[in-house]
Chain A
Amino acid sequence: MHELSIASAVVDSVLEFVAERSVRRVLTVRLAVGELSHVEEEQLRFCYTAITQETPMQDSALEIEKVPAMVRCARCEYSGRPKYWDDALSVAPIPTLECPNCGGAVEPVEGNDCAIKSIRFATEDNDLAIPAA
């Protein structure tokens, strides 16, 4: 359940950021989650909702943007999307580190990370109207 670690890292970082400013509440947190980082979206949302209660981040929207995996082959200089293993019992095809071009070993160059892209917040002195759901 490392989603709790990730959610805690998100909340700690954002709260640290808002503590330095006159932020009344955080409206949106936007994450970029790499295809090769094994973060399960539903679990992350669940943890996020739970640990943002009674903080300026309560009820904020968590937007998750998926960053596709990109790989590079040192042998044939292929650069692009990885080869997928699509009949491996899995519900979704599994990205592999086998070069789609020459069958050699590739290195992942993108899609490994999990980062906060941006946050949207309202400042203290303004009585902000939140879009009604």
Chain B
Amino acid sequence: MIQTIEASPDEIYDIELEHSLLEANAQLAKANRALLDRHGVTAIDVMGAIGSGKTTLIGRLVEKLKDRFGVAVFNGDATTSDDANVIASQSVPVVQIATVNGCHLDANLVGKALKKTSLDNLRLIFIENIGNLICPAEFPLGSKARVVVVSVTEGPWMVRKHPHMFLGAELVVINKVDLAEAMEVSVSELTKDVHRLKPDIAVIPTSCKTGTGLDEVAAALLAV
């Protein structure tokens, strides 16, 4: 039995707010992008699961590109600076962004990292997002392109299990293809899955061990 007592209309107020919850981050992302554009810097948001090879991929790309122009790396990590240390050994500017318990980077944190970085001599910034295939999709950072890294060692269903991540990306890297046979995972099936979600997206198979596909990734990122 439910009893309802209606309050009179002058006691209760309904207010239309139409207030976007993602807007605050989106605005900060736009500001980051404007700052980057003013300096002619391209930021690339690198997303992917823990262990997909984001840090190694970024490391290899930095190795290839750092003698041609200025490259910097922002390493998002919940707690450690291990990944940042790996990249810093290549003598490029690195900012560690510790999210503590946060599951994604946001535009505010990236904005703070940009303030700590001298943008004048840079052409490219790799932003390594937190290892997570769900949350980062909702939070643009101001990057010019978003790259999703999946690896064959994550099994055959990574794409269809995390569709949202791919819908907002500009490039997909299928990493560790040297292990595809051992893993019995088909790179072409993973590629097909990506294209079922987003028909026009570029998919590049890579191996950071053998170097397969790394030049193509570098070229694709410089063309965005």
Contacts and interface: CB of A to CB of B under 8 A. Distances in A.
A and B form one complex: yes
B104 A2 contact: yes
Classify chain A's interface size: 35 or more
A133 B11 contact: no
Interface string B169-185: 00000000000000000
A38 B164 contact: yes
B67 interface: no
A96 B200 CA distance: 12
B200 A128 contact: no
Contacts of A122: 7, 11-13
Nearest to A29: B17
Given A120-B13, A131-B4, A115 B198 contact: no
Interface in B8-52: 10-22, 24
Nearest to B102: A5
A13 B12 CA distance: 19
Contacts of B19: 13, 115-116
B7 A126 contact: yes
Interface of B: 2-5, 7, 10-22, 24, 102-104, 106, 134-135, 137-139, 157, 160-161, 163-164, 167, 193, 196-201
